[in-house]
Chain A
Amino acid sequence: MIVVEGLGKRFGDVQVIDGIDAVFQKGRVNQIIGRSGSGKSVMAKCMVGLHRPEKGRVLYEGRSFHDMDAEEKRGIRQRIGMLFQGSALFDSLTVIENVMFPLRMFGLMAKSEMEDRAHTCLKRVSIIDKDQLFPAELSGGMQKRVGIARAIAMNPEYLFCDEPNSGLDPQTSIVIDDLIKEITEEFGTTTIVITHDMNSVMETGEHILFIHKGRKWWEGTREQLLRSDNKELNEFVFAGSLMREVKRSLTGEE
């Protein structure tokens, strides 16, 4: 479980996020949604320690991340898997080397074991016979899958996904969403997905946090989201005609 208490981050004169409180439960897909520039990625970066917040705390199993010493932080980070918007695979390494990278770096197992583990992760994301290719030789969807394989290589307890559907076609997006959901259930991870893709929210969102103007504007489940009367949330969620149609069919409202 991850608890966020009064989180605030400022860049120069701009207060990007302010006073955000949230609890992200284990074993379910938590989604942070909001418009571009609303502060959701900054919030996630504060949570994984890429930014240091000016205010508030991020608690991993009750311990404040930013108050930990370097060694403790490293220990927590080894329990975090992250899928980046652009996959962030290492260009000079092959697919298998990318997945094996965290295992090699921390010398947790013998080489044959590392290869077995990497193959298991690649098989889990349905990447077969591509392990000797370089990231540049893969499609965007495949790169995302390899990114997921690398993120789960260390058996993470916390999985962060930053815009996992960005740049993908609708079918591939569904494959990635399903994969994130399955992995969350299978490994019991605390999963946090940052997205503004409403299809993804409808597919996988179990606990949804809406960030607006750097503040937590709304929080609830997928079902509550469809019936919410929050003005800003509705403007964001039902901006597209497809979502408006969904709402109409559910509530009968025009």
Chain B
Amino acid sequence: MNILYHIGRYVLLLRETFARPERLSLYWSRTVEEMDLLGVKSLGIVALLSAFMGAVITIQTKTNIDSPLIQAWVVGFATRQSTILEFSPTVISLILAGKVGSNIAAEIGSMRVKEQIDALDIMGVNSAGYLILPKIVATMLINPFLIMISMFLGIFGGWLAGVQTGVVVSDDFIMGIQLGFKPYHVVYALIKTVVFAFIITTVSAYQGYYTRGGTREVGISSTRAVVYSDVMILLANLVLTQALLL
């Protein structure tokens, strides 16, 4: 029953969020601000993680398939496939759920306990729409760019580490990342990214919006936002992979 209650309240919150905005220009300027706050400011961590993870994938792949029967280009191929299909869209989204999700829940939760959301409601402003919609639009627009950057840096990090450590020759690696490339895999990854962005933003906003109490509860909401977003991302990942790849 408790789960049904939360699902119902989440759906009602989404209905309020997508109601007609009072002033579209104000919503758009907030969306641009959120793109900077939630997207551009996450670029550093995404770049760092992607480059290092790409490097580790390359070295581990080489270590695990070190056989004369397996051709050298397989290392580049495996790095590309792992990065595009899973690491960049899913693992980076899980990490963004930690950074962006906790930020959203803490911001909206603080506004709730400080009565700022009540103030919006009393002014006649649709508080859910004003606070949540720009975040949803911002993350759904900016996250695909973050993930594309992550894909590039992951593969680049793999090439750099592979060549520098001598586990793979540059030409073999490049041949591997070009071999059997299916553009649809990138489309699949970007579809997942957009869905995950929606999950991160709405689940975290839900946790923040219904925070009751004080600063301790804001902390609890932030933690829940990350945990529930992660669980939902993993479930959605399974469903989308079955629906889009099988």
A interface vs B, CB < 8 Å?
A: 45, 48-50, 73-78, 80, 82, 84-86, 88-91, 101-102, 104-107, 154, 160
What 16 new A-B contacts, CB under 8 Å, besides A49-B121, A90-B116? A45-B118, A50-B118, A50-B122, A77-B121, A80-B122, A84-B115, A84-B118, A86-B114, A88-B116, A91-B114, A91-B116, A102-B125, A105-B22, A105-B23, A105-B26, A106-B22
Residue of chain B at shortest CB distance from A84: B115
A74 close to B23 (CB less than 8 A) = no
Complex Cα spacing A76 to B114, Å = 23
Any A CB within 8 A of the CB of B124:
yes
A85 close to B125 (CB less than 8 A) = no
Bitwise, B5-46 to A at CB < 8 A (1) or not (0) is 000000000000000001100100000000000000000000
Query: In the complex, what residues of B have CB within 8 A of residue A104's CB?
Result: 23, 26
CB distance from B111 to the nearest CB of A (A): 8
Complex Cα spacing A50 to B118, Å = 7
B interface vs A, CB < 8 Å?
A: 22-23, 26, 110-111, 114-116, 118-119, 121-125, 130
Query: In the complex, what residues of B have CB within 8 A of residue A48's CB?
Result: 122
A50 close to B23 (CB less than 8 A) = no
The residue that B121 contacts in the complex, of A50, A91, A102, with Cβ under 8 A, is: A50
B122 close to A82 (CB less than 8 A) = yes
**B interface: dominant SS:** helix
B23 close to A84 (CB less than 8 A) = no
Query: In the complex, what residues of B have CB within 8 A of residue A74's CB?
Result: 124
The residue that B124 contacts in the complex, of A78, A85, A160, with Cβ under 8 A, is: A78
Complex Cα spacing A211 to B118, Å = 23
Query: In the complex, what residues of B have CB within 8 A of residue A50's CB?
Result: 118, 121-122
Complex Cα spacing A75 to B22, Å = 12
B114 close to A88 (CB less than 8 A) = yes
The residue that A107 contacts in the complex, of B23, B116, B123, with Cβ under 8 A, is: B23
CB distance from A115 to the nearest CB of B (A): 16
Residue of chain A at shortest CB distance from B116: A88
CB distance from A193 to the nearest CB of B (A): 16
Complex Cα spacing A85 to B123, Å = 16
The residue that B119 contacts in the complex, of A73, A82, A154, with Cβ under 8 A, is: A82
A77 close to B23 (CB less than 8 A) = no
**A85-B115 contact, Cβ under 8 Å, with A50-B122, A105-B23, A106-B23:** yes
Complex Cα spacing A84 to B130, Å = 20
**A77-B122 contact, Cβ under 8 Å, with A105-B22, A106-B23:** yes
Residue of chain A at shortest CB distance from B115: A88
Complex Cα spacing A106 to B24, Å = 11
Query: In the complex, what residues of B have CB within 8 A of residue A107's CB?
Result: 23
Complex Cα spacing A102 to B121, Å = 11
B123 close to A105 (CB less than 8 A) = yes
CB distance from A211 to the nearest CB of B (A): 20
Complex Cα spacing A18 to B23, Å = 39
**A86-B26 contact, Cβ under 8 Å, with A49-B121, A77-B124:** no
CB distance from A242 to the nearest CB of B (A): 30
Top 6 A-B pairs, shortest CB-CB distance? A77-B124, A88-B119, A88-B115, A74-B124, A78-B124, A84-B115
Residue of chain B at shortest CB distance from A85: B115
Query: In the complex, what residues of A have CB within 8 A of residue B119's CB?
Result: 82, 84, 88, 90
Complex Cα spacing A84 to B116, Å = 9
